[in-house]
Structure 1
């Protein structure tokens, strides 16, 4: 459906979701997705940068490595708040302004991280950088899903959000060279420059959500301008009214995630995000350090961390294609169960180097590749004016798990536990994630079993 007459008024209703679903990916889409992928590169780069810089930072400042737990935690606390607050803001004022403002803030405060000369300054810079960075993933994922045709929406979201993994791998490759040669600050000088360089392309090519503009009923001229670029030849002009099959919501938007039959699925998605990010951040933050503490070289420690990210990079692409066919629940449950088994192996002492890298790759495939699947599941589950909030809330709760994961790992190390104890502990939330996905199938059978059906007939537009 593209246009319908509206009674005696002679106006036509154009459903923008139908136009997107019937369209093809063109030059406009590729440009927008490239910019969004660039934003996600920053997220992945920052996740790994502190993990690689931590041993050199501890040596430079004369600190025991366990004292760096609050540094990891400060950035993750910022991510937690940023994911939730920015998601709600974007569902009200738009994804584009939130993404541009957050990118600028992240760049500035990452440069402040590189310039920090004391622990309080470093903690403040990491928290504020995390606050900006928290806006990136939920809004980028939502925008990709809103501009991708339905027939390949899940695969497109997974592939574009793989920019996160590209950034993580780049952080490992660059840090292996930069940290030994130039010190722990070097990755943050680069990590702060990247988002500032991205601002002009974002201002030019980053679109606003067509569906969000339609459901809000505001800014029809802006909607028409972006629609001309996304779907050339779409109906326009006097009498054309752009609609979606959703009604706008009122009230405190975060509570809407628990209404309308969404409560059970929402809570389970939060729990899956929480448990999976405990694993992601504990492994990303501590694996290079634990490998180095085991007596291997700094370069080997960096490559062990990079193997996790390479696994996530490959896994995300493959899982994106599989999820489109088999559905979210069976694939993600299998991923998280595999991660638990691999973590138990990863913690074994005396593991040969080749086995260490192979198991690290498998862990990345399962947990780093599975996380974009959780994000894509949220993007297909929530309606337009809850989409960024829904993704952001899930990621925010997940970042809380990410905040706790490195702290718990640090406490285990400070208490005399070694690498084996850390990875055995990390296997527990991986099992929880797998069980949650199975519970999601039983508690909310229509969620995540297959690509979502089209919505109802409620129209809203401008």
Structure 2
């Protein structure tokens, strides 16, 4: 939840910051983009380290980094001071987000993997929802800096709990040759999971001495699905950040009160929470959910049109942004589950990190376009209608995954590599 709160903290507080500093919300684009650029760096270069160093240290380090840098924003006096802090905070977020999805995929049984990953994503959206409500309540009384106090202190308070109770994944421990720790973790989940200390734990990944690296994602075996997923991730997150970064500002410029504008952002995240979990449950019931996810992106496009046409009616607007959240953000959460399922465990954090880096490029492009449109005084209706384009592209890309993924799995299996390796030596009910 703290990740979702921190990821949207600039969008939530932008109108109040602009008013305090006597500037326009469009002038804050550089601070929003700086955070997103940091996420690209963290996703591409720090998140993949989890495949070598472990999920746990990278995740905890990322939480510490974005917590400290978010809290430091309280002391800034202008946009130039804010930009480097938001960039470094973005690096921390970029390291954390892909690894939370990797955790969800590796701790969940295969039959519930999509649901588990989307629940992780829904908790992030929940942070955006709660953050929006808190911001609308505390900014009028305590000012915009209070939002950054909460966004920085809460993650830092979480670190002792992560150090005490967050375990490394069984898959990583086994692949690292730390069988004793893996057995201990399995027994802490279920004392009957491993019968004796002599039972070997084996991951069926057949790495043949290969080390995790980005170049493996673009070899013959993984290149087709990686490239298609890059298109989907780029456009889906461009859409999400195009909307989420500027919903409060666009609606404020359209004549809505600041309270209603921030509430609309919160409602969009609420829709993401319910939509993500619901779509994840449905995806687990399908052998190949790509077609369903393609349809969901199409529904998001229709809801965006409804939002553009309902700006004059608060009730209809809130309903339409709820649906946008459910079928744009919620669908992307489930796309994360599909991607996590495709990549083998020993390459999962690298794959998710690269996809996260690509989608952060989209997240930079989206707010940049939105800021430029606001600066050019483009009507709110037109801004929302333009968001239909990436929704349609994401829908087409997800439909293509349906055709690429079966061949991809076949290629992997022909090379004796299971794309979703199982752990032998544990009870069937605990297998990933």
1:455 pairs with 386, 397, 418, which one? 418
Matched, 1:155 2:118: no
**2:75 counterpart of 1:108:** no
Distance 2:4 2:280 in 1: 18
CA deviation profile, 1:46-87 (whole Å, cap 9, x unmatched): 232211210110111111221111111011111111122232
Q: Say whether 1:382 aligns with 2:349.
A: no
Aligned counterpart for 2:126 among listed residues 161, 166, 172: 166
Cα contact 1:49–1:175 (8 A) shared by 2: no
Following superposition, which runs of at least 4 residues in structure 1 exceed 6 angstroms of deviation? Answer: 456-462
Out of 356, 359, 381, the position equivalent to 2:320 is 359
Alignment-derived partner of residue 246 in structure 1: 205
Would the aligned equivalents of 2:212 and 2:350 in 1 still touch at CA under 8 Å? Answer: no
**Contact 2:114–2:284 under 8 Å retained in 1:** yes
Equivalent residue number for residue 37 of structure 2: 77
Partners of 2:318 and 2:85 in 1: CA distance: 33
> Of 233, 249, 272, which aligns to 2:192?
233
Deviation at 1:272, TM superposition (A): 0.5
Give the 3 Å change call, closer, same or farther, for CA 319–457 of structure 1 in structure 2: closer
CA shift, 1:43, in A, is 1.6
Equivalence map 1:18-417=2 (5 Å): 41-217=1-177, 219-235=178-194, 239-248=198-207, 249-251=209-211, 253-259=213-219, 261-326=221-286, 327-348=288-309, 351-417=312-378
Distance in structure 2 (CA, Å) of the matches to 1:421 and 1:186: 33
Give yes or no for contact 1:247–1:459 (8 Å, CA) kept in 2. Answer: no
CA contact (8 A) 1:50 1:72 kept: yes
The secondary structure found in structure 1 opposite 2:263 is helix
CA distance in 2, matches of 1:113, 1:331: 41
Gapped runs of 5+ residues in structure 1? 1-40
Question: Structure 1 residues 114-123 or 379-388, which shifts more?
Answer: 114-123
TM-score (norm 2): 0.91
1:286-305, Cα deviation, whole Å (9 max, x unpaired)? 11111111122111111111
Q: C-alpha distance in 2, partners of 1:459/1:55?
A: 49
- Report deviation, 1:460: 9.6
1:27-49 Cα deviation digits (max 9, x unpaired) = xxxxxxxxxxxxxx122112322
Gaps of 5+ in 2: 426-432
Tell me by how many angstroms 1:440 deviates. 1.6
Q: 2 CA distance for matches of 1:280 and 1:205?
A: 32
1:91: how far off? Answer: 0.4
Shift of the alpha carbon at 1:216? 3.1
C-alpha separation between the residues in 2 aligned to 1:458 and 1:88? 19
Task: Tell me which residue corresponds to 2:429.
Answer: none
How many pairs are equivalent? 417
CA–CA separation in structure 1 for the residues paired with 2:421 and 2:153? 45
Contact 2:236 / 2:391 at 8 angstroms: preserved in 1?
yes
